[in-house]
Structure 1
């Protein structure tokens, strides 16, 4: 191995070490939903602000996240590289290689609402036909940062009391943060229990955005 090859693989190893933390991976998942302050990220990840800040600085040094200043706040967003693709590849390899993860995923996917999943490609066709209602069940701040075109936002905690806001008839497709996010599974259960025709998107908003598909956002200021 040449010195150049060794240097390249040392760089790869350094990036891998940065990701070798469940807390940093969790922070990346939340940042993938849209820009966040360190205070909000700490709250979402169940970390102290000091601990979250330390993890975020490591992610920033490695280029996985970037920052911008908004008044006194510092907001974090994903870095310019293919971060979502990297996390997706890591997830797929873990599911392939780790029996415990395969069992956990199988337990989730063997539930009856697994039959109600819709692929990104099929959803695109349905959207072009205009015969589907998109339901984003993430918290409102995540929805405002970015969402599928034309989606309705009803956070999962409010869904049962806001059913009247959904159109009667037709099909609803619920989506949330990603394949491990339970919110869309819960939405399918609630809606089916109330007589709605509903499916869930197999992937989530970050994968949709990473695929280069159209998204909408609203001013958070």
Structure 2
């Protein structure tokens, strides 16, 4: 894989694209903070590498991951970066650890706690991503709606928040906001892509 393909894949992971739902280049660009031209170039690199597929819908070209195996590749790339890049460690310490220094919940622990009805699972991704796939039983409150929808959450029930992966800021921001309001809340150790790649159950709307 070339450096450009690797960078493209990381950007696409941040967008929340999956193998079961399609996004346009415009939507991906908006979610990851790239220009449309830059996002389109990234997507073309991934399409040539066989990592994403595309189809035309009117004037839009919609993209999705080629299959769920790409999720494993994205997870592996993230792990390599965490272990070997000093910049990643600096970002983790300066941003992520400041917002959540508690031990995150593992996938296995969350699965068991949801079966025992011990937690509220909170998905803070946009509603279109939630519709394509989510942790079974999860409640969807996008981060930008959290402030106005606090009444939907039980303050006496532990909450586990998740989003797109271990470096997704949405869940960190949600945890910080909810703790400031007295909720007992932790976050999932990673996100839906890793959950899906581990073969755990996923619900769809």
TM range (shorter): 0.7 to 0.9
Aligned match for 2:70, one of 76, 83, 105: 83
Is the 2:9–2:74 Cα contact (8 Å) retained in structure 1?
A: no
Aligned to 1:92: 79
Is the 2:155–2:184 Cα contact (8 Å) retained in structure 1?
A: no
Aligned match for 1:64, one of 51, 62, 85: 51
Is the 2:4–2:45 Cα contact (8 Å) retained in structure 1?
A: yes
Q: CA deviation at 1:89?
A: 1.6
Q: CA deviation at 1:24?
A: 4.6
Q: CA deviation at 1:180?
A: 0.8
SS class of match (1:63): coil
Aligned to 1:132: 119
CA distance in structure 2 between the partners assigned to 1:165 and 1:81 by the alignment: 33
Q: CA deviation at 1:25?
A: 2.4
Is the 2:99–2:172 Cα contact (8 Å) retained in structure 1?
A: no
Q: CA deviation at 1:185?
A: 1.3
CA distance in structure 1 between the partners assigned to 2:3 and 2:82 by the alignment: 20
Compute the TM-score of the two structures, normalised by the length of structure 2: 0.88
Aligned to 1:16: 2
Aligned to 1:178: 165
CA distance in structure 1 between the partners assigned to 2:56 and 2:198 by the alignment: 27
Higher relative contact order (CA 8 A, sep 6+): 2
Which of structures 1 and 2 has the bigger CA Rg?
A: 1
Structure 1: state its 5+ residue gaps. 1-14
Structure 2: state its 5+ residue gaps. none
Gap change, CA 1:70 and 1:31, over 3 Å in 2: farther
Compute the TM-score of the two structures, normalised by the length of structure 1: 0.82
| CA deviation string 1:110-145 (max 9, x = no partner) | 336221511111101101112211111111222122
Aligned to 1:25: 10
SS class of match (2:73): helix
Q: How does 1:97-176 map to 2 (within 5 A)?
A: 97-111=84-98, 113-176=100-163
CA distance in structure 1 between the partners assigned to 2:78 and 2:105 by the alignment: 20
- Identify which range, 94-103 or 174-183, moves more after superposition: 94-103
Is the 1:174–1:188 Cα contact (8 Å) retained in structure 2?
A: yes
- Identify which range, 39-48 or 194-203, moves more after superposition: 39-48
Gap change, CA 1:81 and 1:160, over 3 Å in 2: closer
Cα RMSD of the aligned pairs, angstroms, is 2.1
The reply on whether 1:209 has 2:196 as its aligned counterpart is: yes
Count of residue pairs brought into register by the alignment: 203
Aligned to 1:193: 180
